[in-house]
């Protein structure tokens, strides 16, 4: 295959939307989540976000990036004023509804209604969950960081509630995201399903890796293979 090399000048010279689409693909596959919030008047907001990342396990922290754009400020404003938000994993059967929440609705319009998603509440948690999601989390705001390089902002929250089908939790703690039919995003608009190749054993110097089943056991095809 013929290789293409882009220098900084080549990237700058790209047409604006072409550059945006290309750069948005470079990080690789992205998580697909809906963030649910509510303002102090009770107006609900839900927004598709592809930048949620793991920040740490103890305490359990997740973070995401807020772009300096109008439509997404509702989410940030609500989190800063209430301290509460939900993260709801996107499954294949409502990925189109989830994508529709990226349209720029006025603040008084609930994206739940506009996109055909169902708000769901749990005791002691003020932000709305997305009922359709098989993996729902509630978070409390822990940190808000301004990124000076491009005026984006990072929100970090602590997970205080997790709800998911019990069968998806493997004995060693691993969660089988494929059992939940979760999708992954590439670029701005491409949705993908996945197929597990294998889990891999914990890497140590001078020790060969071996494949694991989704339950975290040494893979049987390896046990059966000749030495």
Residues 80-109 that bind its own copies (CB under 8 A): 87, 89, 92, 95-96, 99-105, 109
Q: Taking CB under 8 A as the rule, does residue 199 contact its own copies?
A: yes
Contact 89, 32 (CB under 8 A): yes
**Span of 36-44, 72-80, 170-178, 219-227 interacting with its own copies by CB under 8 A:** 170-178
Asked whether 141 and 154 are in contact (CB, 8 A), the reply is no
Shortest distance in whole angstroms from residue 34 CB to its own copies: 11
**What contacts 155, CB < 8 A, 6 or more positions away?**
63, 64, 66, 76, 79, 85, 141, 143, 144
User: Which of the residues 132 through 151 are near its own copies (CB under 8 A)?
Assistant: 135, 137, 142-143, 145, 147-150
Size of the site for its own copies (CB under 8 A): 115
- The Cα–Cα gap between 107 and 127 comes to 16
Cα 98 to Cα 4: distance, rounded to the nearest angstrom: 34
**Residue 172 makes contact with its own copies by CB under 8 A:** yes
8/226 with CB nearer its own copies: 8
SS (H, E, C) 72-125: HHHHHHHHHHHCEEEEEECEHHHHHHHHHCCCCCCCCCCHHHHHCCCEECCCCC
78/97 with CB nearer its own copies: 97
Q: Per-residue contact track with its own copies, 34 to 53, x per CB under 8 A? A: ----------------xxxx
Nearer to its own copies, 77 or 179 (CB): 179
In the bound complex, what is the minimum distance in angstroms from residue 41's beta carbon to its own copies? 21
73 is an interface residue for its own copies by CB under 8 A: no
159 lies in the binding site for its own copies (CB under 8 A): yes
Could you tell me which of 29, 81, 71, 77 has the C-alpha nearest to residue 50?
A: 29
């Amino acid at each position: 295959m013929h290789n293409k090399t882009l220098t900084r000048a080549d990237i700058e010279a790209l047409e604006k939307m072409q550059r945006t689409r290309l750069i948005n693909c470079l990080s690789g596959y992205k998580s697909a989540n809906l963030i649910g919030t509510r303002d102090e008047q009770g107006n609900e907001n839900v927004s598709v976000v592809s930048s949620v990342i793991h920040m740490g396990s103890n305490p359990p922290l997740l973070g995401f990036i807020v772009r300096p754009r109008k439509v997404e400020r509702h989410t940030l404003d609500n989190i800063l004023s209430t301290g509460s938000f939900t993260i709801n994993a996107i499954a294949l059967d409502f990925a189109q509804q989830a994508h529709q929440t990226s349209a720029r609705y006025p603040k008084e319009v609930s994206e739940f209604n506009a996109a055909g998603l169902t708000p769901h509440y749990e005791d002691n948690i003020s932000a709305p969950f997305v009922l359709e999601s098989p993996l729902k989390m509630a978070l409390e705001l822990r940190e808000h960081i301004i990124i000076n390089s491009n005026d984006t902002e990072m929100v970090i929250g602590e997970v205080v509630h997790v709800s998911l089908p019990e069968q998806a939790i493997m004995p060693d703690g691993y969660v089988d995201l494929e059992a939940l039919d979760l999708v992954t995003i590439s670029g701005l608009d491409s949705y993908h399903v996945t197929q597990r190749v294998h889990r891999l054993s914990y890497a140590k110097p001078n020790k060969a890796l071996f494949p694991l089943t989704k339950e975290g056991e040494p893979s049987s095809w390896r046990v059966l293979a000749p030495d």
